[in-house]
Structure 1
Amino acid sequence: MENLVVSGPTGTDVVAPAGGSAALGGADAGAGLIDGEPATPRRRRLFSSEQATPYLLIAPAVVALVALLGYPLFRVVVLSFQDMRHRQLIRGEDPAWIGFDNYTKIFQDTEFWAVVTRTVVFTAVAVVVSVLLGLVVALLMRRVARPVRTAMVVAMMLAWAMPGLVSSQVFLWLVDANFGVVNWMIDQIPGVDFHNHSWFADPKQGWIVIAGIVVWGALPFLAVTLFAGMSQVPKELTEAATVDGANPWQVFRAVTLPVLRPLLGIVTTLSVIWDFQVFTQIWVVRNGKPELSFQTLSTYSYLTAFGQSKYSVGSAIAVITVLLMLGVMIFYVRQMFKIGEQD
C-alpha cells in the first residue's frame, strides 16, 4: 500500500495511508481533511454581527428605562430603610438609618394585610371578568359582517384612547345619587326603589363601580388582541371539525383554544399587572379621599407617605408592591420566551 506525504500547517510532513484520512497539524490546526472533507474550525466568534444587532437595537430602550426608573427605584429602596418624616424633609436633614424596622411595622399591621387581601381579590375578579368579556366580544367579532366589525373596532379604540381620569369622571356621573342615569334606569323597574341611592355607602357596591371602570377600560385592548389571535387559527381545521359534526363549543375548545392559549396567557398576565396597581379610578370616584375599605396597595402607599407624612413607611409598602409584581413579571417574560421558542 502506498503512503501519501502531506505537508502540515507547521511545515512537518505527515505520512498517511493512501485512501485513509490525514490529520493536518496538531491541536492548533485550524483546518484539515477528515475523510476527504474539510474539517470544521474549532474556534468560532462569540458574537457575530447578526447576533449583536438585536442587542444594539434594544440598547437605547434599556438605557432609557435605567435612566428613568433606576435611580428613583434605588432612592425608594434606600428610603424604606430610613426614618424620613416631615421634619427632616422641611429642614433638609439626613434621616436616621433604622434598617428593617419599617418592614417589621408593616408586617405586624392588620390594616396592611387587609389591604393586600383586598388588592388580590379585586385584581382576580377584574382580570377574570375582563378577559372573559374580551374573549366573548372577540368571538362575536368573528361572526358579524365586516362593516359591523369595523365599527366595533373604531368604537373600542375610541373608548380605549379615553384617559382614565375622564372615564372615571363619566362613570361617577352615571352612578350619581341625585342625577345618575344608572339609578334612574334601575328605578324604572317595578318594585325597585333606587332614588337617591348611594353606590359607595356599601363598599361591595362601590367596588362593583370601580371594577366596571377598570373592565370597561381594558375591554377594547383584550377584545382586539384576542380577535387578532383568532385570525391565526387555520380555517381548514375549523371547517374539518364542523364537517365531522362538532358544535361551536367543541370547535372552540378543540381547535381555537389551543392556538389561542399562549396569547391568553400573555393578556391575562398583562391584565394582572395593570389591575394590581389601579390608582386613578379609586382616587377619582372617592374624590381624592378613599376610605380604608376602598384602598389598594397603590393608594395605601401614597396616603401613608403623603397623607400621614410617613415617607419611609410608604416607601417600604411601595417596595413590597414592586416585589409582588416582580413575580408576575417573571411569569410574563417566561411566557414570551415560550412563544418565541414555539415560533
Structure 2
Amino acid sequence: MIITSLITEYNPFHNGHIHHIEASRRMTGADVVIAVMSGNFTQRGEIAVTDKFTRAEAAVKHVDLVVELPVFNAVSFADDFALGGIHIAELLGSTNIVFGSESGDIQDLERVYTQLKDTDIQHEMNELMKEGYSYPRAVNKAIGGEVFKGSNNTLGLSYIKAIDSLNSQIKPLTIQRLGNQYSDEHLSESRFSSATSLRKALVENRLEEAVRYMPELLARNILANTPLSNEKIFDTLKVIIDRSDHAELREIYMMTEGLEYRIKSKIRYHNSYETFINDVKTKRYTRTRLNRLMISILLNIKAEKMKNYTPTDAVRVLAMNKTGQKYLKSLPDSLEIITNVNSKNRNFIQREIAATDIYNVFAKSDRNDFNTPVFISD
C-alpha cells in the first residue's frame, strides 16, 4: 500500500491545504492520506485560531486520517517539529511524505541538505548565527544561494534531515507552494491565501473575505466561537512573567543569553502582545523565536524537560473516515493507537491533555481530550 503523510498545522484549514492534499494524492497514488497535525499551539509560536478538534473535522473531509503531533514537537524549532512528524509518520507505516515548498524541487532541497553536512559549511553557519544571522540567512550565505528564501523550504530541509537521522525509508516529495507568502497579512488576489492573512481576517470578523479562501462552514464555525490570537494570552503571560524571578524564567525552554532580563524589564510597560513583542525583538531575537518562547512560558515548558524528551510510540487520533478507520485496524496490535482517552492511556499524552486544558481557558470551551470522541467522517 502507498501511505502518504502530510505534516501540517491547518491553522486554519484553507484552499491551499486542499490543493496540497489533492496534489499529494495524485502525485503518490496514495491508498491512504494521513495528516499529522499540530494541536492547539503551533510551530510559529501561536495559539491556534480554533481548537484541534474543529480543525481535524474540517481536514478529514479531504484526508483519511488526522493524528496529533506531540505538543513538544509542535511548538519547537523546525528540526524538532520535523522529527516529531516523521516519527509519527514512521509509526503509521508511511511510505512517503509530501510537503509544500517555495522551491518545489526535491532534488534541489536534497542537494542543499548534502552540502550542509559538510564540516566547513557547518562551521561557517555556526559563525554566521553567532553574528546574528537567522538560520535561513545563514544557510543562504554559507552555500552561496537563495534556496532557503522561505519558511517552507526551511521546514523541507528539516524533513529531509529527520528522515536521514531516523534512518527512515520514507521518501520525501514536494510540491510548489502557491499564493502569497506564509507571513503575508494581506489576503491574496488568487484563490490561495496565507494562513496568516486568514487568521487576521477571522480575528477581525471579516467573514465574506475569509470564505473566498477556506471552507465557509469552518469559517462560520470559528466566528461563532472565539477566534484566538496571541493577544488573548497576553494578560496571562504578563502575570506569569511578573510573578517569576529571573532564575525561574531562565529554566524555560529557549530562554537563553540573559533574555529573561530583557523580557521581565519590558513587559511591565505594555498592555498588548503586539507592542511587547515589537519592543523585545531584535535582529537576533526574531518575532517567531519570541513567539515560541512565549508559548513555552505559557505552557511551562522547561529546558531540562525538552532536553530529555523523546516522542512516545503512541498515536493520538483526532479524526478519520472509513478508509482511515480500516487502515488503523490493519496496523500491528503493539502500536498504541489512542482514539478514546481514558485512565489507561492518558499517560501517553499527558502534555497534550494539559495543553488543551490551557487552550480552553482562552477559548472558553469545554471540549477536551476526555469528552470529545474521535470524529468519524462518512
TM-score computed with the length of structure 2 as normaliser: 0.19
Q: Which has the higher helix share?
A: 1
Higher relative contact order (CA 8 A, sep 6+): 2
| Structure whose CA Rg is larger | 1
